[in-house]
Amino acid sequence: MTRKRKILLIYTGGTIGMVKDHTSNALKAFDFSQILENIPELKQLDCEISTVSFDAPIDSSNMNTAYYIRIAELIEENYETHDGFVVLTGSDTMSYISSAISFMLEYLSKPVIFTGSQLPIGYLRTDAKENLITSIEIASAHRDGLPIISEVCLYFEYKLYRANRTTKLSAEQFEAFTSMNYPPLAESGVHLNFNQDFLEVPTHSKKLIIRKNLCSDIVIIKLFPGISMKVIESMLNIKGIKGVVLETYGAGNAPNNEEFIKLISKAIGKGIYIVNVTQCVGGSVLLGHYETSSQLKEIGVIDAKDMTTESAIAKMMYLLGIGIKKDEFVLYYEQSLRGEITNK
């Protein structure tokens, strides 16, 4: 007889566990136990579900690295006693959070599935029940005694994605997320179909390591036509800044005027890491492909390739937190560590 898989449900807050405040009519978080009361169907799943919640559930807009660490610690504390994990957070920052967790969990060999909803679980037309039930099914799915999924994923509206490949596209549609540069890992319909060829497969037997030292001394500079060089200069001169995610046009293009290049070059000379990521939802940076990106390559701007902005930030936090040397930083940043970059 096959034993039942043990799944830990981690509730941090978010729309999935919201109710309306009768006074203000605004949505607010409620006690986690009410989620289970609202979904009696969970008892029909072929797994054992235990739950843990943040002491005070938070809106995902209030997420920060301290909460990332708390999520990682809850997984660490329960790793040996559970077969999989489902993490409920608000969808607004879910791609940021799940991307960060994917880097923090080294040598992961069990499923960690992030999910949430666009409507609260108590609403008649909610997407919360399907998202939660299927996420638990995915976390408990196994073959030949081993979990089918062994990475950090995000499940929303019938599709399972690699977490560090996702971006939230819509605040209105149930199909809120996309992964433009990597296919879904699974799709839910009449059957739950896993796209086996796209899954990460553990090639190690090492013990899980949790990287808790994240550096958030980072800024995003999103270029736009006519952006003031004074604005860029002031951002690059923020006290204590260690990294910049530079959102460029198309395939990594940026102004090639002398003032802009000097500002970027000077910042790199001071030891600030500058990563080039495209503003486009899909596609890749191709440093040096156009004249307007060749100078960035020459002065030492790091190529994020087809990473999302969310993943680029998470990876920078992780690598800066480890405190590796400059050459190693560039080497590791430009290669895939958790499937966040397409190997070409």
Domain that residue 100 falls in: 5-210
Q: 317 φ, ψ to 5°?
A: -55, -45
Domain identity same for 200 and 223: no
Question: pLDDT digits over 47-84, tens only?
Answer: 999 889 888 888 888 999 999 999 999 999 999 999 99
Domain identity same for 127 and 18: yes
Domain identity same for 250 and 319: yes
| Final residue before a domain boundary, out of 152, 180, 210 | 210
Per the prediction, the chain carries an average pLDDT of: 89
Which two tokens mark 322?
A: 């480890």
Is residue 158 included in any domain, yes or no?
Answer: yes
Q: Residue 204 and residue 81: Cα distance in Å, rounded? A: 20
Number of compact structural domains in the chain: 2
Domain identity same for 246 and 193: no
Q: Can you point out the beta strands (E) in 12-89?
A: 18-20, 27-29, 47-53, 84-88
| Final residue before a domain boundary, out of 210, 236, 252 | 210
| Secondary structure class of 65 (helix, strand, coil) | helix
Domain identity same for 199 and 239: no
Residues 6+ apart with CB under 8 A from 88: 9, 10, 11, 12, 13, 14, 16, 17, 35, 114, 115, 116, 132
Residue with the larger pLDDT of the pair 98 and 289: 98
List, as one string, the DSSP characters of 131-181.
HHHHHHHHHH-EETTEES--SEEEEETTEEEEGGG-EE--SSSS--EE-TT
Instruction: Enter the pTM of the model.
Output: 0.92
Question: pLDDT digits over 145-197, tens only?
Answer: 899 999 999 999 899 999 999 999 888 777 778 899 999 999 998 888 999 99
User: Binning pLDDT at 50, 70 and 90, where does residue 110 land?
Assistant: very high
Share of the chain above pLDDT 90, in %: 62
- Say which of 15, 167, 278, 308 is annotated catalytic: 15
Is residue 339 included in any domain, yes or no?
Answer: no
| Final residue before a domain boundary, out of 193, 210, 227 | 210
Question: pLDDT digits over 188-197, tens only?
Answer: 988 889 999 9
Is residue 194 included in any domain, yes or no?
Answer: yes
Residues pairing with 162 in the sheet: 153
Domain identity same for 101 and 191: yes
Is residue 343 included in any domain, yes or no?
Answer: no
Domain identity same for 82 and 182: yes
Is residue 344 included in any domain, yes or no?
Answer: no
Confidence check: pLDDT of 95 > 60? yes
Domain identity same for 126 and 18: yes
Is residue 341 included in any domain, yes or no?
Answer: no
CATH number of 77's domain: 3.40.50.1170
Confidence check: pLDDT of 20 > 90? no
Is residue 173 included in any domain, yes or no?
Answer: yes
Over residues 205-216, mean pLDDT: 93
15 is a catalytic site residue: yes
